Amino acid sequence: MDIGELEKLDNYRWRIPKSGAMLVDGVIYASQKLIGKIIEEKAVEQVKNVACLPGIVKSSMAMPDAHWGYGFCIGGVAGMDVEEGVVSPGGVGYDINCGVRLLGTSLDKSDVAGQVPKLAAHLFNAVPAGIGSHGTLKLSYSNLKKVLLGGSEWAVREGFGWKEDLVHTEEGGKLPASDTAILSERALERGKGQVGTLGSGNHFLEVQWVERVFDEKTAGVFGLREGQIVIMLHSGSRGFGYQVCDDFLKVMARSVVKNKIFLPDRQLACSPVKSEEGQRYLEAMNQAANYAWANRQVMAHVTREVFSDFFGESPENLRMNLIYDVCHNIAKFETHNVEGKKRKLLVHRKGATRAFGPGAPGLPDIYNKTGQPVLIPGDMGRASWVLAGTKEAMDETFGSSCHGAGRALSRSAAKKLKSGAEVSRELHERGIEVFSTEMGTLAEEMSEAYKDVDDVVEAVCGAKIGRKVARLRPLAVVKG
């Protein structure tokens, strides 16, 4: 597609007019600087394909970090009518409920001066990372099923966290689920040993510091201040979630034939929301989401323990409160205003973060006036951001924003640029300590492999679907 085929609505919005089998328009949120890369990576074609799905409401959307993904582009958002619409695993992703959580501390950057390498080594030793990594938590099938039904509630009940953590987690860290019998033996087997593990690829645990606050009042509500040490954690549902997605893609492929659904791309395999297949997938997806929340909850608990041992203070004295936990690979039932009327929708966010604005239902009381914290991780070497959700996001994007910087290079292309050892050395020279189980992962995840997160955030805030609160910089990175 050529840029001339897009209609520029303003400096941060591009419309793809409805054509062919499209049921609604496509809308891409991007600056002039970002739109070329989004076109080059064929995300526009995927936005058009999603616009063909039955029951899609309003428009098929892409956030400023959009790039090619399985079925939906990464950064894709679509709201489906619950009566006539469909649910598509490609609109959720293989890593169901991959997400980000941010812990505060009472520490300043000066408190960790000279100690970052040692602190990072302790974190690397305590939090299992890498492909197929297993944790110290060995679950029986019986206890695994409690995780799948209980999510973060299970973790807190077992001593891995504080009750307040649940309030500061999207959906309280638990989606409705009741039937583990629908899961494959393979999914259960993959899930038994990975609760409390980071995984590989773009997942990370970072010690960061708050470089700049843009909105002191909102930052104060979130518990952020300049110079403060914070911890950002990015992980998902590991092999369990991957297997759930893989299992149900086969189910959905059969459902497409059975229900005579036209698809421009078979990776959009789907089923009517109300069908037996759709309901079974949503049940399994909810269990994978609960697994991911429990996973991040356990790792946050281990991180608190490491900090407590290292600094000789309790996590409570170190004020290691959970600021927020948001997911960015999920489909959830939500009610939104569409053309002046409230409608219940199944909102798919694939590589997109919920960004509910002030007064939106489901937010903890403390964030009711500010909008929710929107956590935007960057790459290992530059910055991450904390934004606040906005009314405009509620009006335009079903309360959604970007989920990160978005890849600019494929993993294979990144590896051709430089080695993992070079990446590690360069980051060290810039004052960032990196620990990883695989040097190849470091090469794949180098800063140059991603768009500049500052450009992405400028587009988000230019479109007013997010509001700047604070910019964070990495000091130490633990990778798989």
Instruction: Evaluate whether 279 touches 239 at the Cβ level (below 8 Å).
Output: no
Phi, psi (rounded to 5 degrees) for 453: -60, -25
Query: 3-class DSSP state for residue 464?
Result: coil
Instruction: Evaluate whether 473 touches 219 at the Cβ level (below 8 Å).
Output: no
- Would you say the C-alpha torsion 168, 403, 327, 360 has a positive or negative sign? positive
Name 12's Cβ contacts closer than 8 Å, sequence gap at least 6: 29, 30, 31, 64, 459, 462, 463
Instruction: Evaluate whether 44 touches 52 at the Cβ level (below 8 Å).
Output: no
Distance CA 350, CA 329 (A): 5
Query: Crossing angle, helix 453-462 and helix 32-40, to 10 degrees?
Result: 110
- DSSP secondary structure letter of residue 229: E
CB-CB neighbours of 409 under 10 Å: 17
Look up 403 and say whether it is catalytic. yes
DSSP-assigned states of every residue in 83-123: TT-EE-GGGT-SSTT-EEEEE--S-BGGGGTTTHHHHHHHH
Q: Provide the residue type at 266 as one letter.
A: R
Distance CA 180, CA 184 (A): 9
Distance CA 216, CA 225 (A): 8
Q: Which residue has the tokens 């993992």?
A: 420
Q: Provide the residue type at 245 as one letter.
A: C
CB-CB neighbours of 394 under 10 Å: 21
Q: Which residue has the tokens 């939090």?
A: 127
* Residue of 67, 234, 328, 403 marked active site: 403
CB-CB neighbours of 38 under 10 Å: 29
How far from 286 is each of 130, 319, 371, CA to CA, in Å?
25, 31, 25
Is 260 exposed, middle or buried, given 0-12, 13-18 or 19+ CB atoms closer than 10 A?
exposed
Phi-psi category of residue 122: left, alpha or beta, with phi > 0 → left and psi -120 to 50 → alpha: alpha
3-state helix, strand, coil in the chain (%, to 5): 40, 25, 35
Catalytic residues: 403
